[in-house]
């Protein structure tokens, strides 16, 4: 154990060049079942993920392979990358018994959760982090005791007939003071008989408090407790995981977090973070983006329709691992916190990038935030922190999205007031431009040749390809001034082959260009009107 601690210190200080210095037996890999039902394989999967969080406390040790159906599709390619670029060798594990045989020495005990009360698993994961223990159902107790693990907490029967707010109030009273105030884990997403706690290993690793409290103000009691948790976190701390699809909306969740200047880092399915968190960059590695032009270049547009595509919702979702990437100019949101949360994982994406793959900063801050919901006294710090990450990652374009009013108005308002736009221009002086919105927006500006451009089109994966092409042509007809700059938001599940087929249907005077050239031209000859949200 002392050897592992020493190695972790050396890695953190950058005094050794590769994690391959560990013994060959230091790394284990195991596939997880894709059954996440309480009456199916969730009990074993939860045990294994909690084991991962504890086993990886002092050094990266256990890595899981998730199925291709999982939200994040890169667990196998990333493992291959570790093997190829770091000479890391992984010993395979085939079942839970093998995993405990190899790693039970890291574990201090077990916590029992009640399959009859789903929320008890979320509470058990908080306890597991504090006790450095695994979580088990009653049927798995003999397996834990086989390896001489003592009982730390038994939640059977404790929450019978209780509401979630009663359960989490009990957990707050018992655990909150002992938990991290840098990380809060929302174990939401699916509900009912299914739970997918992919991020739970990282929450255990950081001794975080786990919850899925509603952030919908209508749910008065749950909302009040959720607000208390957020208020008692440190400003700019991390809300990992995701909101419950049953209880509230994404917009409500991110709005409440932003009210307290907290940064959301989704999803609940983000895998292997307790492992990836500890793998450093290659020695001397510097992030390099695929810029097409110099930041001081002047590009004069012709009388055309210029298009640029930005694919959203994280590098690991949707199109990145699908065919077609690299065939056309394309921009991708970078999950910027990965530069310190999972540096080698982010290097993996940069190393995979083709000359046509262009990275941009997102989303609204150093994490997912809504600027209209952030208290004004915190907004400059939020922008400054995001700008620091941009510079580390060689990013010159930043993307903003705000759905603060999403559930409170008749229509979605993706627009921003002038003071928010001012904050980005002032806080990111070397940015060459900004993208805004999710669906089409109406906030536009140009300052010193640097445009602030909202999306004109939202390409859903459900939109018929012929109809999508007709939409683009109609937009060009409505916006008859040339050049016309059409910024296209591509939903994460629309892969590039699909985008190529849509764009093949538009006329020849439409031209797809790299995003940095698009913004340079828009800044030189804007044909849009300056406009801000009037709120």
Domains for the chain: give ranges and CATH numbers: 2-276 (no CATH), 328-524 (3.20.20.490)
Partners of residue 479 on adjacent β-strands: none
Residues 407-424 as b/e (b if ≥16 CB within 10 A, e otherwise) read: beeeebbbbbeeebbebb
The contacts of residue 3 (CB under 8 Å, 6+ apart) are: none
d(CA 523, CA 514): 14
DSSP string for 1-34:
-HHHHHHHHHHHHT-SS-GGGS-GGG-EEEEPPS
Q: 């409170």: which residue's tokens? A: 408
The answer to whether 185 touches 199, Cβ cutoff 8 Å, is yes
d(CA 220, CA 223): 5
Task: Decide if 432 contacts 516 (C-beta within 8 A).
Answer: yes
Q: Which helix (H) or strand (E) holds 98?
A: helix 96-103
The sign one gets for the Cα dihedral 336, 320, 466, 515 is positive
Q: Which residues pair with 451 in a beta bridge?
A: 446
Contact 399, 515 (CB under 8 A): no
Helices first, then strands: H and E counts in the chain: 18, 22
Query: Quick one: pLDDT at residue 317?
Result: 75
Profile the chain (535 residues) by mean pLDDT over runs of 10 residues. 39 39 69 98 98 98 95 94 96 98 98 98 99 98 98 98 98 98 98 98 98 98 98 98 97 97 95 98 98 95 97 76 93 96 97 97 97 96 98 98 79 88 98 96 97 96 95 97 97 87 97 98 97 87
267 neighbors 190 (Cβ within 8 angstroms): no
Q: Say what the pLDDT of residue 491 is.
A: 85
Q: Quote the pTM value.
A: 0.93
pLDDT at 411: 61
Report which secondary-structure segment, H or E, holds 358: strand 357-362
CA dihedral 381, 382, 384, 388 (to 10 degrees): 130
| Residue keyed to tokens 């909690």 | 50
Radius of gyration of the chain, Cα coordinates, nearest whole angstrom: 24
Q: Is 289 left (phi over 0), alpha (psi -120 to 50) or beta?
A: beta
SS3 92: strand
Measured distance CA(17)–CA(282) in Å, rounded: 7
């Amino acid at each position: 154990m002392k050897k592992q601690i020493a190695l972790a210190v050396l890695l953190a200080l950058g005094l050794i060049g590769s994690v391959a210095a560990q013994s060959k037996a230091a790394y284990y890999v195991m596939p997880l079942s894709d059954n996440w039902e309480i009456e199916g394989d969730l009990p074993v999967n939860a045990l294994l993920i909690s084991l991962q969080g504890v086993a990886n406390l002092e050094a990266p040790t256990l890595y899981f392979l998730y199925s291709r159906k999982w939200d994040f599709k890169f667990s196998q390619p990333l493992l291959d990358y570790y093997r190829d670029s770091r000479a890391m060798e992984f010993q395979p594990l085939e079942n839970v018994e093998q995993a405990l045989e190899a790693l039970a020495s890291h574990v201090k005990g077990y916590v029992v959760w009640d399959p009859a009360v789903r929320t008890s698993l979320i509470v058990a994961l908080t306890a597991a982090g504090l006790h450095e223990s695994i979580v088990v159902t009653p049927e798995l107790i003999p397996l834990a005791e086989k390896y001489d693990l003592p009982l730390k907490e038994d939640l059977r029967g404790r929450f019978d007939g209780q509401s979630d707010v009663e359960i989490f109030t009990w957990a707050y009273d018992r655990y909150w003071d002992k938990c991290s105030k840098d990380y809060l884990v929302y174990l939401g997403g699916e509900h009912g008989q299914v739970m997918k706690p992919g991020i739970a290993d990282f929450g255990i690793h950081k001794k975080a408090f786990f919850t899925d409290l509603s952030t919908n103000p209508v749910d008065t009691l749950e909302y009040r407790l959720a607000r208390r948790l957020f208020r008692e976190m440190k400003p700019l701390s991390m809300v990992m995981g995701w909101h419950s699809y049953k209880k509230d909306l994404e917009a409500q969740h991110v709005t409440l977090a932003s009210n307290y200047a907290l940064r959301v880092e989704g999803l609940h399915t983000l895998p292997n973070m307790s492992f990836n968190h500890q793998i450093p960059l290659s020695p001397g590695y510097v992030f390099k983006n695929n810029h097409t032009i110099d930041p001081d270049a002047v590009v004069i547009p012709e009388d055309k329709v210029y298009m640029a595509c930005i694919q959203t919702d994280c590098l690991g979702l949707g199109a990145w691992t699908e065919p077609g990437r690299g065939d056309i100019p394309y921009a991708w949101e970078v999950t910027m916190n990965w530069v310190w949360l999972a540096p080698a994982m982010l290097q993996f994406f940069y190393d995979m990038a083709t000359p046509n793959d262009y990275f941009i900063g997102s989303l609204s801050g150093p994490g997912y935030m809504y600027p209209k919901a952030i208290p004004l006294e915190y907004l400059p710090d939020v922008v400054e922190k995001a700008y620091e990450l941009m510079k580390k990652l060689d990013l010159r374009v930043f993307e903003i999205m705000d759905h603060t009013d999403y559930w409170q108005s008749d229509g979605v308002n993706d627009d921003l007031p002038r003071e928010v736009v001012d904050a980005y221009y002032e806080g990111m002086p070397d940015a060459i431009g900004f993208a805004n919105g999710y669906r089409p927006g109406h906030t536009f500006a140009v300052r010193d040749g640097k445009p602030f451009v909202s999306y004109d089109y939202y390409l859903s994966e459900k939109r018929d390809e012929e109809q999508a092409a007709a939409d683009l042509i109609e937009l060009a007809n409505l916006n008859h001034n040339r050049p016309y700059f059409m910024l296209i938001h591509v939903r994460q599940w629309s892969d590039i082959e699909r985008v190529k087929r849509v764009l093949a249907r538009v006329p020849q005077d439409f031209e797809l260009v790299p995003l940095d050239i698009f913004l340079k031209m828009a800044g030189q000859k804007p044909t849009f009107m300056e406009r801000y949200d009037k709120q």
